[in-house]
A and B are shown apart, each in its own frame.
Chain A
């Protein structure tokens, strides 16, 4: 074991140095900047579109006095509930034909309120009418009540926290941590897939396999990529914190997790490492079977999709703490880190984390072992060897001997 770790460290150091000091590493570091920029731009544009175009507008064809009263009530209601909570109003001259207005391509209205406030008529498509009917009924009610509607002022008492909001906040923290963990794992672990291709292309694998155990090669490569990921994460999180401080200022408004921030962050790092090595060991094992980058790309898709499914399963269990699905997600090795980080946000018990981490690491070791065996058999074309034969085949041989 000591020799495996020593050799793994030699491989990891070589890979890590080669990665960090390559020009491509700069692109790796600035890579996440592109989606952020695109996201901000798309978000800004989307918001404008949502504000300008996607808010429903209702045409109003009422007597002038009633239209004015309706607009006053709309303004008052929007002040209380928020401008975006209710549909916009667009007044039209009294007597306009609602059907003609809806048919006119120059108008952006989705329904028309006509008749009178006492006997209102809403014209529009079935779905639009159904969704607008309640809001407009409330608006007309307020309009008709006019000054008769009492203006109720509510006195407020502020408390530091409530169990409901704390629970909700922790749930949110757990979900956010899950998403972050998943995104980082998927983004970074995918690179492990093509890691062995370089060794095979450069014919170095023969030298490595003759000098050190194949387990050490796999482990070393995994550790190097993990270390590189940590460098990336350190740079990105520093950038994010500095960026946030400069743009918004103050502390990040995330609700405190149940285990407290220091422990939560520590567990986050550990669970990222286990999630990464779990997926990475699978990736490196499968990637090692491939001989070209094209093959690697072909086999990466089903693995990625499977991992997305696993993540959906883990996120489904976030608000089901202690229930069967959450326990299954915590026990299933590939969803375990995601389920456990969500658990850390909501429960302060630490012992389950220790058990989960040991469990996850055992699976990493097992997956590496399986990957190594497949690699030796399928790639190096190794034979069974007397010592490596399975129990079943040995029993079979004994049975045949006893018969002869």
Chain B
């Protein structure tokens, strides 16, 4: 497919982007840079400003302030042929045949209709939809129609794919298929920028993420960077309830009967273990868990924002 090495280091750049709707500031001075060839997730609760940010970056709307650049062009439409976009609100002409809908979306991005139809059939065949190719969109199931739209997004073989809440409305099987498709595109060197309010997808797919809340970016970096903002969690169960070994625990350790939960101290696990053994604490169980992206999200965006976030596991969103 593409096998590209992008000539620009960042496929998407935005600096000081601001967008107000009346008195409401949807995007409040966001800086974003998506490295070329990566899968980049914009994570945030509903109403965080994710869609507005993507629409501004794509040139659907202009910002009130700030600059943007897509594949090196300050006017996003100049790069329209190299970009694929799946909006949050899916839309297809109901009377169009599925394969024609894909070809039409390709034609909008510069592909000839003939080529679009040919590629459309190939793509539909590859996704087990060859029987639906000549059916009108209105005759397709919701999942099939969404897949058709997604195939229309990639039919012209873009260098950058922007997906706004791509998993929303899909069942678990189709979510997995979509994840596979995103990975396959990324393997071909395509930059993927997608927004989601489902942490699990971002955690599984993204190399880098931006956590957006209240129109601002609260965190930008790799998933492991986000996780490393929190210390690993120690969960310990002892037979004895007290002893000198307790001095090895941090002061804010939580206790429930003989179960202890606390951040792993800076000194690491060995001194802790030594204290427990020497003090004869009677270890029933000990686990050290690396925090998930959800925990990182709660820590970064706040618990209120996390309440609006989707489920942690795949498939629950549907």
List the interface of chain A (C-beta within 8 A of B). 6-7, 10, 13-14, 18, 22, 202-213, 376, 380-386, 388
Contacting pair A384 B64 (CB below 8 A):
yes
CB closest chain-A residue, reference B20? A383
Task: Name the A residues within 8 Å of B95 (CB-CB).
Answer: 18, 22
Question: Could you say which interface size class chain B belongs to?
Answer: 35 or more
Considering the chains assembled together, what is the distance between the CA atoms of A10 and B105 in angstroms?
Answer: 10
B109 touches A211 (CB 8 A): yes
Known: A7-B108, A212-B77. A14 touches B93 (CB 8 A): yes
A202 touches B108 (CB 8 A): no
Contacts of B72 in A (CB 8 A): none
Residue ID in chain B nearest A4 by CB atoms: B77
Q: Kindly identify which residue among B19, B85, B94 contacts A207, using a CB–CB cutoff of 8 Å.
A: B85
Docked complex Cα distance between A385 and B59 (Å):
10
Given contacts A203-B90, A210-B85, A211-B85, contact A386 B108 (CB under 8 A): no
Let me know if A210 and B64 touch, CB within 8 A. no
Q: Are A14 and B61 in contact (CB under 8 A)?
A: no
Q: Which B residues are in CB contact (< 8 Å) with A22?
A: 95
Interface contact A380-B61, CB-CB below 8 Å: yes
CB-based contact B87/A203 at 8 Å: yes
A383 and B63 contact, CB distance less than 8 A: yes
> Chain A contacts of B60 at CB under 8 A?
206, 209-210, 380, 382
* Contact pick for A204, options B21, B56, B92, CB 8 Å: B92
Q: A10-B108, A212-B80 are in contact. Are A385 and B62 (CB under 8 A)?
A: yes
Does B133 have its Cβ within 8 Å of any Cβ on chain A?
Answer: no
Query: How far apart are the CA atoms of A386 and B75 in the complex, in Å?
Result: 12
* Known contacts A10-B107, A10-B108, A213-B77, A382 near B61 by CB under 8 Å: yes
Closest B residue by C-beta to A21? B95
Can you list 10 residue pairs at the A/B interface with Cβ under 8 Å?
A6-B110, A7-B108, A13-B113, A204-B91, A204-B92, A208-B108, A211-B80, A382-B61, A383-B62, A384-B62
Asked if B312 is at the interface (CB within 8 A of a chain A CB), the reply is no
Alpha-carbon separation in the docked complex, A388 to B109 (Å): 24
Contact B21 A210 (CB under 8 A): no
Across the A-B interface, give the 3 residue pairs with the lowest CB-CB distance, nearest first. A203-B91, A385-B62, A383-B64
Cα of A376 to Cα of B77 in the assembled complex, Å? 14
Are B87 and A207 in contact, with the CB atoms below 8 A? yes
CA of A18 to CA of B109 in the docked complex: distance in angstroms? 20
Cross-chain contact A18 with B96 (CB below 8 angstroms): yes
Assess the A18–B93 pair: CB atoms within 8 A.
Answer: yes
Say yes or no: B91 contacts A205, CB within 8 Å. Answer: yes
Bound-state CA distance A10–B81 (Å) is: 14
Complex contacts, B83 vs chain A, CB 8 Å: 210
- A388 CB contacts on chain B under 8 angstroms: 62
Contact B61 A381, beta carbon cutoff 8 Å? yes
The docked-state distance in angstroms from the alpha carbon of A205 to that of B61 is: 12
Question: What B residues does A7 contact at CB under 8 A?
Answer: 108
Shortest CB-to-CB span from A373 to chain B, Å, is: 11
Asked whether A207 lies within 8 Å of B91 as measured between CB atoms, the reply is yes
Knowing A10-B104, A18-B96, A383-B19, the reply to whether A203 touches B63 (Cβ < 8 A) is no
Roughly how many angstroms separate A376 CA and B104 CA in the complex, as a whole number? 23
From 75 to 131 in chain B, residues with beta carbon under 8 angstroms from any chain A beta carbon are: 77, 80, 83, 85, 87, 89-96, 104-105, 107-110, 113
* B93–A202 touching, CB < 8 Å: yes
Residue of A nearest to B51 (CB): A206
The smallest C-beta distance from A208 to any residue of chain B, in angstroms, reads 7
Q: Please determine whether A206 and B104 come into contact, CB atoms closer than 8 angstroms.
A: no
Q: Which residues of A contact B226 (CB under 8 A)?
A: none
- The docked-state distance in angstroms from the alpha carbon of A327 to that of B95 is 48
Shortest Cβ gap from A366 to chain B (Å): 21
Q: Are B108's CB and A207's CB within 8 A?
A: yes
Q: Give the one of B60, B67, B83 with max A CB within 10 A.
A: B60
Q: Are A206 and B91 in contact (CB under 8 A)?
A: yes
A380 to B107, CA, bound (A): 23
> When chains A and B are docked, how far (Å) is the Cα of A10 from the Cα of B104?
8
Known: A22-B95, A211-B77. 11 other contacts (CB 8 A): A202-B93, A205-B91, A210-B55, A210-B60, A211-B109, A381-B21, A382-B62, A383-B18, A383-B20, A383-B61, A386-B67
A280 to B238, CA, bound (A): 80
- A385 pairs with B63, CB closer than 8 A: yes
B58 on the interface (CB 8 Å rule)?
yes
* Contact residues in B for A210 (Cβ distance below 8 Å): 55, 58-60, 80, 83, 85, 87
Question: For residue A213, which residues in chain B have a CB less than 8 angstroms away from its CB?
Answer: 77
Choice from A10, A204, A381, A382 contacting B93 with Cβ under 8 Å = A204
Distance, CA A212 to CA B79, complexed state (A): 10
Q: CB-CB < 8 A to B21: which residues of A?
A: 381
**Cross-chain contact B77 with A207 (CB below 8 angstroms):** no
**B27: nearest chain-A partner, CB-CB:** A383
Residues of B within 8 A of A385 (CB): 62-64
Residues of A contacting B108 in the complex (Cβ-Cβ under 8 angstroms): 7, 10, 207-208, 211-212
Contact partner of A202 (CB less than 8 A), chosen from B20, B92, B110, is B92
A385–B21 Cα distance when bound, in Å, is 14
The complex places the Cα of A148 from the Cα of B196 at a distance, in Å, of 107
- B1-46 contacts to A (CB < 8 Å): 18-21
What residues of A have a CB within 8 angstroms of the CB of B85 in the complex?
207, 210-211
Nearest CB of B to A221, in Å: 13
CA distance A57 to B167 in the complex (A): 84
